[in-house]
Amino acid sequence: MLRIAIDGPGGTGKSTIAKAIASRFGIEYIDTGAMYRSIALKSVREGVNPDDVDAVEEMLSRTTIDFADNHVYLDGEDVGGLIRTNEISMAASNISKLPVVRAKVDAVSKHIASIKSVVMEGRDICTEVLPDAEVKIFMTADPKIRAQRRYDQLVEAGKPADFDEIYADIQQRDYQDSHRDYHPLRQAEDAVFLDTSHMTIEENIEAIERIVKESQDNVEIQNTDN
Question: Judged by CB under 6 A, which stretch of 59-67, 71-79, 87-95, 135-143 contacts ligand DC?
Answer: 87-95
Report if residue 37 touches ligand DC, rule: CB under 6 A.
yes
Q: How far is the CB of 151 from ligand DC (least distance, A)?
A: 16
Q: How far is the CB of 225 from ligand DC (least distance, A)?
A: 35
Report the residue number, 173 or 205, with the smaller CB distance to ligand DC. 173
From 80, 67, 84, select the one nearest 31 (Cα to Cα): 67
CA–CA distance, 68 with 176 (Å, rounded to integer): 28
Q: How far is the CB of 98 from ligand DC (least distance, A)?
A: 10
Tell me 129's DSSP state. Answer: I
CA–CA distance, 159 with 218 (Å, rounded to integer): 46
Sheet-wide strand order for 71-74? 65-68, 71-74, 77-78
Which residues from 158-187 bind ligand DC, rule CB under 6 A?
A: 173, 177
Q: Which of 3, 5, 10, 48 binds ligand DC (CB under 6 A)?
A: 10
**CA 177, 77, 108 angle in degrees (round to 5)?**
50
CB 95 within 8 A of CB 39: yes
Q: Using CB atoms within 10 A of its CB, is residue 117 exposed (0-12), middle (13-18) or buried (19+)? A: middle
Report if residue 93 touches ligand DC, rule: CB under 6 A.
yes
Q: How far is the CB of 172 from ligand DC (least distance, A)?
A: 10
Which residues from 16-35 bind ligand DC, rule CB under 6 A?
A: 32-33
**CA 152, 157, 161 angle in degrees (round to 5)?**
55
Residues binding ligand DC: number (CB under 6 A):
15
Interface residues with ligand DC (CB under 6 A) are 10, 32-33, 36-37, 89, 92-93, 96, 122-125, 173, 177
